[in-house]
Structure 1
């Protein structure tokens, strides 16, 4: 909690000491930074300490409370709030005090509850003013960065900000990107972090680890935060930029796990040159996946390192697609693991990774479409199509890609089952239509371009009966129908009509299934 600083001024020592003991200053949001027993000493103390609040007696020797307020108001310093205390309920003094913008007028003896309420009210007022001031500073910092990057900042504005950021001759300044990764609506935990919260925590940790008194200038670049890092902020780190980045990364890890990446541009000697540092920081972004373990990229350290734009070898990609369509998940996983190691070890540029993964995704979608599948049913497709619009670590990208492959392979297996089921249904319909002809498992397999052994196994698995048994049931069922409908048709004629070339064999098969001969079946009907 931010504590406001107060100074006590009263020529009576017991009043000051009494106030110190009477009030729970910390609970009210204040700490006492000093005390004085006369107006002259108080004036010097206030100039030195720059407090947020001055509590002063109105009647003191040499310089009284009102004169002290007048003197302070003439000084070129941040004006503190004032609370006047007096042993007299003097309306005239109160009127004068209020004209000087005094927060409150308190009559001795001081009531603890009343005075606590006054301090709490002032604390809320100061907090609101501070938040407004910080927001103004943020907006001014944003405008400064935008104008510097575009090369539109006026010299007078640059000079003003160099003073405010404590950039002296011989100092330098760098542009740094802070990026929060792996926080999105389709992550495993489902808890996406807003850019606003990330920015707030970033600013808070910057202030904490640097003890910064100057403004923190930040700018939101779509999906990452940019900031100015002058030499003054690096003093607690012996002026070492990388030491500062490590400390900042570790501080942010407490809030966001290992999702924060930092990219520093080259250090420039003038604020007006920050555009060059900004461009260098953007170049550093391209080395993200190469330095994923460290999660810090300093442009001056990597600027000579090569980046590669490599395509998958056609033969390897063809092999990948074959293994995918054959549903060889282990082989596909092995190949994907190899690719992602190469992305880092062979220094792939992010654009090359994007191009190669898109090639795989498009190949898989083509297979699904050829099987009359509906690709939009894949829950993992959309995240993978849009991954480059989000901040993803290589590990998270690997997880997403693997999840997409696994879901796609499961879908292809389902489509294949549906196709097989549809195919066997067609074969069954064909048998039902042509059972009276001279058909066999081999002849049907030839018609439907399928292995006869596989067809026999598939038929049994699908319908729970062997092909020959099913064919016999159809033929005997039709024979029974003919026997019921006509008493004059001969047995050999029925045999021919239902697909038997040999009447004796027909009788044998009929009896095998019905436990009686065709003639016995007919006589039974009579």
Structure 2
């Protein structure tokens, strides 16, 4: 718990020492950082220590309590809260004190319970005020960074912030990005975190790892948190920027898992130059996939490293699409493994990764559309279409990509089954319309661009009978109809009309199905 600083001012040493022992200061939220036995010494002490609270007696030599409060208030150098003690229950003193904004007036001898309650309430008030001031400072600091990056900050504003942040003590200034990855809405809800919560966590861990006693300026960019880091914050790390970044990343990992990437711009010497460090940090973000193992990119160390913009090999892509349509998932996964390994080892720029992923998406969506499917029905499509709007690690991108490929193959399989059903019905209708012609399983398979063995299996599975049996039944059925309705037609004429090559073969097949010859069937009707 952060304690508020306080000083005691009283010309009676026993009063001061007694009060220090009487009250549990820490429990009330305070710590005594100094004491004085007269108003003049107290005035100097207050200016030097700048305490949050001054507890002073009214009656003191040289400068009394009211005059001490008046001078501090008028000079407006520091603005502590005052509590007045007095051995005199004098309402006039209280009235004068309240005009200077004194928090409370207590009468000696001090009641420890009552005084502790006053301190506890004051602690809550000061904490609330401190929180509000920190929020205000953060907003102002963020606005200042924004103006600096845009090149719109005035010299007066820069000078004010250099003084406020004690930047004259810093030999170097860095601009850093903290980037939370894999925080998309397709993740489990318990693993998601808002931008505001991430920013607050970064602020808290920065203060903890650096021991900073002054504001650290942050700025919320579209999908990252920008951090202004003066070199004196690196003192706990012997000025080593990488050690600091590793420590900060480790601290954030404890809350978020291995999802935080850090990028550092080049050092500059003046706040007015921070825009250059910002641009270098932004350039460093392009190297994230190459440095995914470390999740730290320092601009000065990548300047000689070139990014590559390489497209997919056309032959390899063609085989990939064939494997997709043939539903060879293992072959597809092996290709994806190779591609993602190349993305890192061959130093692909994020834009090149995007281009290659996009090429695969377009090819698969085209296939699904050609099979009269709707690619928008794929639940895994949208995360990939907009993946660069979200910070994704290469591992998470691969995970989403493989999920999309698997769902796409399932979709292609379903569409193929539906197409097969549609085609087999068309084939059956064709047979029913052309049974009298010289047709066979092989000729129909060629006509419909289907493998004859596959067609025979599909026909049997769909209609419960083999193709030849169906065709024979159809021809015999039509022959029986002609035998019933055309009594003058000869047997060989009927055989020819329904598709039999010879009358003898017709008679044999008819008898096999009906257990009588065509003539016997006709005579039976007579």
Is TM more than 0.5 here?
Answer: yes
1:170–1:515 CA distance, 2 compared to 1 (3 A):
same
* Maintained 8 Å contact 2:369/2:375: yes
More displaced 10-residue stretch of structure 1: 21-30 or 391-400: 21-30
**Partner residue of 1:391?**
391
1:19–1:511 CA distance, 2 compared to 1 (3 A):
farther
1:185 is displaced (CA, Å) by 0.9
* Maintained 8 Å contact 1:219/1:225: yes
The runs of 5 or more residues in structure 1 that have no matched partner are: none
More displaced 10-residue stretch of structure 1: 313-322 or 510-519: 510-519
Distance 1:265 1:58 in 2: 56
1:12 is displaced (CA, Å) by 5.5
* Maintained 8 Å contact 1:441/1:456: yes
* Maintained 8 Å contact 1:205/1:248: yes
* Maintained 8 Å contact 1:85/1:107: yes
1:85–1:476 CA distance, 2 compared to 1 (3 A):
farther
**Partner residue of 1:327?**
327
**Partner residue of 1:451?**
451
Cα shift readout 1:31-68 (whole Å, capped 9, x = no counterpart): 33344555455445434432211223334455443233
Distance 2:302 2:54 in 1: 53
Cα shift readout 1:162-181 (whole Å, capped 9, x = no counterpart): 22222337712111111111
1:510–1:225 CA distance, 2 compared to 1 (3 A):
same
Q: Verify: 1:342 aligned to 2:363, yes or no.
A: no
* Maintained 8 Å contact 2:170/2:230: no
**Partner residue of 2:261?**
261
Distance 2:90 2:523 in 1: 133
1:90–1:509 CA distance, 2 compared to 1 (3 A):
farther
Q: Verify: 1:128 aligned to 2:101, yes or no.
A: no
**Partner residue of 1:301?**
301
- Within a 5 Å distance, the mapping from 1:31-70 to structure 2 comes to 31-36=31-36, 38-70=38-70
* Maintained 8 Å contact 1:173/1:229: yes
- Within a 5 Å distance, the mapping from 1:501-520 to structure 2 comes to 509=509, 512-513=512-513
1:123–1:490 CA distance, 2 compared to 1 (3 A):
farther
Question: So what's the TM-score if we normalise by structure 1?
Answer: 0.89
* Maintained 8 Å contact 1:231/1:239: yes
1:514–1:94 CA distance, 2 compared to 1 (3 A):
farther
1:76–1:239 CA distance, 2 compared to 1 (3 A):
farther
- Within a 5 Å distance, the mapping from 1:454-465 to structure 2 comes to 454-465=454-465
Distance 2:265 2:120 in 1: 45
1:102 is displaced (CA, Å) by 0.8
Q: Secondary structure at 1:395's aligned position in 2?
A: helix
- Within a 5 Å distance, the mapping from 1:315-464 to structure 2 comes to 315-435=315-435, 437-464=437-464
**How many residues matched?**
526
Cα shift readout 1:216-262 (whole Å, capped 9, x = no counterpart): 12222211121211122122221222221111111111122111111
1:449–1:265 CA distance, 2 compared to 1 (3 A):
closer
* Maintained 8 Å contact 2:170/2:232: no
Q: Secondary structure at 2:347's aligned position in 1?
A: coil
Cα shift readout 1:54-83 (whole Å, capped 9, x = no counterpart): 223334455443233224334554311112
* Maintained 8 Å contact 1:265/1:299: yes
1:441 is displaced (CA, Å) by 2.1
Q: Secondary structure at 2:263's aligned position in 1?
A: strand
* Maintained 8 Å contact 2:365/2:375: yes
- Within a 5 Å distance, the mapping from 1:80-91 to structure 2 comes to 80-91=80-91
* Maintained 8 Å contact 1:8/1:35: yes
- Within a 5 Å distance, the mapping from 1:96-115 to structure 2 comes to 96-108=96-108, 110-111=110-111, 114-115=114-115
1:2 is displaced (CA, Å) by 3.2
* Maintained 8 Å contact 1:491/1:518: yes
1:11–1:314 CA distance, 2 compared to 1 (3 A):
same
Let me know the Cα RMSD of the aligned residues. Answer: 3.1
* Maintained 8 Å contact 1:165/1:230: no
The runs of 5 or more residues in structure 2 that have no matched partner are: none
Distance 2:15 2:473 in 1: 113
Distance 1:12 1:152 in 2: 56
- Within a 5 Å distance, the mapping from 1:181-220 to structure 2 comes to 181-187=181-187, 191-220=191-220
- Within a 5 Å distance, the mapping from 1:145-224 to structure 2 comes to 145-168=145-168, 171-187=171-187, 191-224=191-224
Q: Verify: 1:279 aligned to 2:283, yes or no.
A: no
Cα shift readout 1:337-381 (whole Å, capped 9, x = no counterpart): 111111111111111111122111111111111111111011111
Cα shift readout 1:259-289 (whole Å, capped 9, x = no counterpart): 1111111111222222221221122112111
